[in-house]
Structure 1
């Protein structure tokens, strides 16, 4: 493991593992129960000492049922005690900056400082319904971001005028709960350098997706995203911190590798071919691979971790080494298997995977070996 990876994860009381809930749920099930499932899962993760839970915003394609993630974050804040709760993410391209800032500060209060404001351009299929072109999404993200930052964490009134929103000496009436300011993170999908550049320019945290969206080519790898962010930060007199870098991808753990693959094989195929392929209209096949081999292909490419505890530990180590080190692993939860098997995977992650990286295994082993050595003198 690299020095930076060692620095980011070592001696952490918490797991340094979180979840990224788009959330997506396969069609054919009760939407009401699917939404409530997310809250039940986060309550379990709070008990398991997970660090974070991120909630996405989606309005199209049928699987992403949550169009108002702040409502789930507010509900989760009342059912949990220590886990951080994050927007994953607010699409700044179609939300007025003042409303984004106001909701963020209210969630800061409701969570008593456990809220993270994640921002991004938004999903293209959602933007299309709102009359936006893809280029408009990134332009609007860059335009709105400095106003959001000042409204949330600054003290000065904001005056700003664009062709889609206006602010006239705007300032929130409600003060922040977090005196040092809210953490603000930006999502990077690896398709353009926009997010890493903005992260560096404004000194934001960054969430990168090792999960590449099926059917969309990724031209900027994880390590390159971090390099771009650091260069942008240096250019603007700021410093990026690897501890505030999250990397997200699907992870499923079972007692054996064979069991883990069997758990998620059918659900993965449904997610890949029906959600991204049929609903999203993308070519999601891997050249030279059959439908049954697609899961293995994604795991081999580093776009998912599926296997035993040892397999997943090794996979995280490879990811840490290839990136130079990051702060938290976010487990993307794509509804590939039953809720019971997902819960079991989370328990294995917390009990047996996370301690390999946080250093919490060392003292018990050290104590045991010290006393064994005394017995053999």
Structure 2
């Protein structure tokens, strides 16, 4: 299983904008240092918190500070862009990142964004589906002529070849509705389950995958679970108590923003502690690395298997504790999930099980050398001082 982050971002409006953007880049650099595989950057144009208007700009900048981690648009809102110019920017970004670019696509999550450019919210998902096919074909180096009521392509073609033969992986946002799953199946794309740990998203995991597979079969494609990303919020610490204390830094503000601004209902029932609510509903991991492992097992069982988990990055904890959370996941959770230390564990277990035998051999070897030395010196028996000397230096 691969691991990464889905960075909307969620930056409270009392923070300095430039410093917040810089911190998000530091976040990706830190993730690469710890061995994380992917970082996905959002596109939003209103709300005040989600301040990346262009994930391509962010990716281009942070790619110059990193060398290995893959970087994706999480996601590009297709109804807001002409398919040709978006595909052209992604192709250029593919070269700037030296083949590390991934294209995540979706209908756009904030109705206010759509309102400001006069995109009817009710048409956003239809427009996403209309835009996917020409983008896929353009990135496959095809010449595309296509016309809808909102874009017109006339013998459109990209002037740059892909950076490498693999091209750019494309992933479709999928939540509770089947729209993303159908689009992924129809065009043979990957899927991003952005709300995988919410009640609706969690319950729809298996059914959405089945829809994608069925649609893929109808169109001669095959879905690959390795390209399925599941997204959910996580904060871990050395103890559950410390994790709970850490997230009280910003959890209430985040819930209030999601509820009152982003219009995503996440508030706990009246009278229930928000930390308890996040844990008990399974929406978020707030605990230890072992709790993170348990969440991965829960998601794997529900989904039938997936390729990558993305932490829905937020400002629940301050930056220092957030860095520590990523470190604890990398140091203690990922090795357990991916069984990275099996050989080390077998070696330790073997020595534990044979400890008496090897200790006896060592004691006998030391005793033999002591007796050999005593014979060379003409001693009848070993003196206590000699025994102590050899024990101390053996």
TM-score normalized by the length of structure 1: 0.90
Of residues 125, 135, 138, the one that matches 1:148 is 135
Could you tell me whether the CA contact under 8 Å between 2:195 and 2:202 is conserved in 1?
A: no
Q: Distance in 1 between matches of 2:123 and 2:132?
A: 14
Structure 2 residue ranges without an equivalent (≥5): 358-394
Tell me which residue corresponds to 1:56: 42
Of residues 94, 99, 113, the one that matches 2:99 is 113
Matched, 1:268 2:245: no
Structure 1 residue ranges without an equivalent (≥5): 1-8, 10-15
Matched, 1:333 2:313: yes
Tell me which residue corresponds to 1:91: 77
1:328 Cα deviation after fit: 0.6
Q: Secondary structure at the match of 2:233?
A: strand
Matched, 1:245 2:228: yes
Q: Secondary structure at the match of 2:274?
A: helix
Could you tell me whether the CA contact under 8 Å between 2:141 and 2:161 is conserved in 1?
A: no
Tell me which residue corresponds to 2:219: 236
Tell me which residue corresponds to 1:203: 188
Could you tell me whether the CA contact under 8 Å between 2:6 and 2:310 is conserved in 1?
A: yes
Q: Distance in 2 between matches of 1:75 and 1:298?
A: 34
Could you tell me whether the CA contact under 8 Å between 2:99 and 2:167 is conserved in 1?
A: no
Of residues 234, 259, 271, the one that matches 2:242 is 259
Q: Secondary structure at the match of 1:246?
A: strand
Q: Distance in 2 between matches of 1:170 and 1:82?
A: 32
Tell me which residue corresponds to 1:135: 122
Instruction: Tell me the matched-pair count.
Output: 356
Matched, 1:277 2:277: no
Tell me which residue corresponds to 1:311: 291
TM-score normalized by the length of structure 2: 0.86
Could you tell me whether the CA contact under 8 Å between 1:255 and 1:308 is conserved in 2?
A: yes
Of residues 12, 22, 34, the one that matches 2:20 is 34
Of residues 74, 81, 86, the one that matches 1:100 is 86
Q: Secondary structure at the match of 1:17?
A: strand
1:266 Cα deviation after fit: 4.1
Q: Distance in 1 between matches of 2:160 and 2:54?
A: 21
Deviations 1:118-165 (A, max 9, x none): 10001222111111122211111111111000111x232111111111
Q: Secondary structure at the match of 1:159?
A: strand
Runs of 4+ residues over 3 Å off in structure 1: 210-213, 216-220, 280-287, 371-377
Could you tell me whether the CA contact under 8 Å between 1:87 and 1:118 is conserved in 2?
A: yes
Of residues 259, 268, 276, the one that matches 1:286 is 268
Matched, 1:346 2:326: yes
Could you tell me whether the CA contact under 8 Å between 1:249 and 1:332 is conserved in 2?
A: yes
Q: Distance in 2 between matches of 1:210 and 1:301?
A: 13
1:209 Cα deviation after fit: 2.4
1:374 Cα deviation after fit: 4.2
1:68 Cα deviation after fit: 1.0
Tell me which residue corresponds to 2:174: 188
Could you tell me whether the CA contact under 8 Å between 1:309 and 1:348 is conserved in 2?
A: yes
Higher RCO (C-alpha under 8 Å, 6+ residues apart)? 1
1:220 Cα deviation after fit: 5.9
Could you tell me whether the CA contact under 8 Å between 1:203 and 1:239 is conserved in 2?
A: yes
Q: Distance in 1 between matches of 2:353 and 2:196?
A: 46
Could you tell me whether the CA contact under 8 Å between 1:211 and 1:249 is conserved in 2?
A: yes
From the superposition, tell whether residues 349 and 284 of structure 1 become closer, same or farther in structure 2 (CA, over 3 Å).
Answer: closer
Q: Secondary structure at the match of 1:354?
A: helix
Tell me which residue corresponds to 2:162: 176
Deviations 1:348-368 (A, max 9, x none): 010001111212110111122
Q: Secondary structure at the match of 2:150?
A: coil
Deviations 1:282-310 (A, max 9, x none): 654333x42x5123212222211110111
